A and B are shown apart, each in its own frame.
Chain A
Amino acid sequence: MARSSKAVPWLVFAGGGTATAFILPVIVIITACYAFFGGFSAALSYETMHGFIGHWLIKLIVFGIMFLTLWHAAHRLRVVAHDFGIRADTPVAIVVYGLAAIGTLATIIALLNI
């Protein structure tokens, strides 16, 4: 079987796509309910959220989901740029993966401050 050097980035892309496919709908439903009519206000209160995300295990899970989501989105964004006629793939790749790396780093800093 042919060996591909793209196995690792593709695995992260697929992992991110799978993680967001399962977890994104319910998170969006919760923030959408809050945005539309103030639903889940108790769950989204400062005390509850600070206590919840303050736990080290939840921080680890949030980091994992965020890392996978950012790399998934970056990888797809690179393809979308190509689809819309932007053929400068290397600069595009540097920008999107760079943003994902900054986002990942920002997530770590934010989580450590909670």
Chain B
Amino acid sequence: MSRKPYVREMSKTSWFLSQARYRDYILHELTCIFIAIYALIWIFGLFRLGQGPEAWQGWLDGISSPLGVVFHIFLLFFAAVHTFSWFKVVPQAMRIQRGTDFVPGNIIVGAHYGILAVVTLFVLVLAGAA
């Protein structure tokens, strides 16, 4: 081993700004922070739901507060980034063989978007009819 190994200089906190592919990578990795916060908000909401109508209304007031509105703007963006980036790599993770050939990646990704559309519409109709 060399006594003076070459270490490329790289910022620990802004390395992902140097290349577009790094930026895309960190963008989909950072989705987990917003997903985690949203999950915690929902766990809190489940507790409030068990405590009665007033507690639940307090939770609803919380998510529609100015802070809640700002958080939702970020959340809409990062939820879209998560779904888009996750579906993008599905062909690499899910190899489906038919006979001697593999099913083309765009068909697998298309099927995922199809299921997403069905799930989204189903829940929206269900929630809209309530």
Which A residues have a C-beta under 8 Å from some C-beta of B? Answer: 14, 17-18, 20-32, 34-36, 38, 40, 42-46, 48-50, 53, 62, 66, 69-70, 72-74, 76-77, 79-80, 83-85, 103, 106-107, 109-111, 113-114
Contact = CB atoms under 8 A, between A and B. Distances in A.
Nearest to B16: A83
Interface of B: 12-13, 16, 26, 29-33, 35-36, 38-40, 42-43, 46-47, 49-53, 56-57, 60, 63-64, 68-69, 72-73, 75-76, 79-80, 82-83, 86-87, 93, 112, 115-116, 119-120, 123-124, 126-128, 130
Q: What is the predominant secondary structure among interface residues of chain B facing chain A? A: helix
Given A25-B120, A30-B127, A53 B53 contact: no
A69 B126 CA distance: 23
A51 B60 CA distance: 17
